[in-house]
Every structure is written in C-alpha cells, then in structure tokens.
Amino acid sequence: MVVAGFLLLPADVLARKARTEDVAAQSAQPPTTAQSLSASAQLACSPKKILIVGDSFAVGLGMTLEQSLKPRGPVALASRGKVSSGLNTPKFYDWEKALGEFLTLEKPDALVVMLGGNDAKNGKGTPEWSKDFQAKAARFLSIAAGHGVSVIWVGLPPMREKTFSQKAWTANEAMRAACATTRNCRFIDSWDLFADTTGKFSAKKPVGGKAVSLRGKDGVHFSAAGCKLLTDRIATGLTAAP
C-alpha cells in the first residue's frame, strides 16, 4: 500500500503511525510560495463585473463593450438598457428605482451609463431645463455612490437634426456637471468621435485608413462600427487610473 509516496508493510505499525502524523503535519503547514502565487494569480484573474444602464444607446454599447475590454483582461457584463427611457419619464420607466435594484442584484465593480437621448429630444433645452436635468442626473448618481460603485457616464453624440443636436449638447453639459460633483464618476465625451472638424454631425469618418459609416440611417443611433469605436474609448476610461 502506498501513502504519500511511501511503501508500507503490514508489520511496520510504528513506522506507519510516524508517517501518518508527518503527513498530517505537512497538510497543516501554510502553502508554499509557488502555491500562494498560483492562488493569487487565480484571484487576480477573476472577471471584473460591469453593469451597463441607459436608453437605446446603452443597449448598443452592451453589444460591443465586451469585445473592447477583452484584450485588457477577463470581464463580466450585465446589460440593462431600456429603449425609449430617460430620467424625465419615471412613469414609463423609473430609472432611480431600477438602478437601485440592478446594483443590489448584480453587485458590479463599475457602472457604465449612457442616458439622456430621449430626455434631450423631448426636452426644452433651456437653462431651466438643464438645471432640472442636472439635478435628476445627480440623484441618479447618488444611488450608485451609495452602493460604492464607480461610474463612467458617456455623453451623447451630435445628431443629424440641428435642434436635437443642440439639445444633446445641453444635456451633455448637465450630465457632465452632475458627474463632476459626484465621487468616483468619470464623464467620457463621445462628441468628437462622431463630429466633423467643425463639431457637427458626421455620418462617416476615417477608421483604419478608410471611410467607415458610424451612424444609423436615423441620424441618431450608431452603426456596429460606431458602437465599437465608442466602446474602445470607454474601455480606456474603465481601465485608466482615476
């Protein structure tokens, strides 16, 4: 019979007892340095969990963010975007309530938010509207802060329709201001990625040496290439030091 690499003979009762005690003592010892490093490596490679919330823009981000983050290490994504939603329409979809529930359920390490497109489109875009929208964004962010979650808030891109684009800019400034007054919140601008040299809407831009369509036919949403371009920037924001 072989135990711990030793051959035991039936007559070797005392030797077996000694060896058994020795094996037990070795089992009780702390792991070797190599074993400790192996365990640490496994812990270090545990997936980072990211929760994505927002409107239809957020739904698009959920399709390409994992691809953008994959070269930087393991990641687990939970995408909870709601089409046609916003902070100004709680009767349709209450984002403050939903966010608290999602954070409790998913327990993410980081939160990615892209919200405000519908609010901007249907809002007045006035200074008073901007101030009210900033307060709502701040309340939304306070929920994440209460859960100790860091936030990446992604700004809106320029829109094809001029008035909508102006409102999107106003919404961005309100959301940027709310993020600036919230701990562990980073605002990531998307405007320059989807604008021409004058800051206006651009449906196509050079990517990898050739012109690529970045926006949908509606002049609002992103193409698959547009989503990937933006999530590449988000990935940098998520992995960069504060």
Asked if residue 16 is part of any domain, the answer here is no
Q: In whole angstroms, give the CA distance from residue 23 to residue 8.
A: 14
Q: Which CATH number is 206's domain given? A: 3.40.50.1110
Asked if residue 32 is part of any domain, the answer here is no
Asked if residue 19 is part of any domain, the answer here is no
Q: Determine how many CB atoms are found less than 10 A away from the CB of residue 121.
A: 18
Q: What is the mean pLDDT of residues 103-121?
A: 97
pLDDT beyond 50 at 32:
no
For the segment 213-222, what is each residue's pLDDT rounded down to a tens digit? 999 999 999 9
For the segment 54-82, what is each residue's pLDDT rounded down to a tens digit? 999 999 999 999 999 999 888 999 999 99
C-beta separation of 235 from 150 below 8 A: no
C-beta separation of 81 from 59 below 8 A: yes
pLDDT of residue 83: 97
Domain that holds residue 229: 38-239
Looking at this protein, which amino acid is placed at residue 31? P
Q: Which residues pair with 153 in a beta bridge?
A: 113, 187
pLDDT beyond 60 at 29:
no
Lowest mean pLDDT among 9-18, 89-98, 119-128, 178-187: 9-18
pLDDT band per the 50, 70, 90 thresholds, residue 28: very low
pLDDT band per the 50, 70, 90 thresholds, residue 102: very high
* Closest CA relative to residue 121, chosen from 149, 90, 160: 160
Asked if residue 15 is part of any domain, the answer here is no
- Positions of E strands within 21-127: 48-54, 75-81, 110-114
Residue with the two structure tokens 């980081």: 110
C-beta separation of 176 from 134 below 8 A: no
Q: In whole angstroms, give the CA distance from residue 8 to residue 15.
A: 8
pLDDT band per the 50, 70, 90 thresholds, residue 192: very high
This model's pTM is above 0.85: no
Asked if residue 28 is part of any domain, the answer here is no
For 161, the 3-state DSSP assignment is: coil
Q: Give percent above pLDDT 70 in the chain.
A: 80
Please state the domain count of the chain: 1
Q: What is the mean pLDDT of residues 23-44?
A: 42
Q: What is the mean pLDDT of residues 175-192?
A: 97
Structure tokens at 117: 């497109």
Asked if residue 93 is part of any domain, the answer here is yes
Asked if residue 33 is part of any domain, the answer here is no
Asked if residue 17 is part of any domain, the answer here is no
pLDDT beyond 60 at 8:
no
pLDDT band per the 50, 70, 90 thresholds, residue 51: very high
pLDDT of residue 241: 58
Instruction: Share the mean pLDDT of the chain.
Output: 85
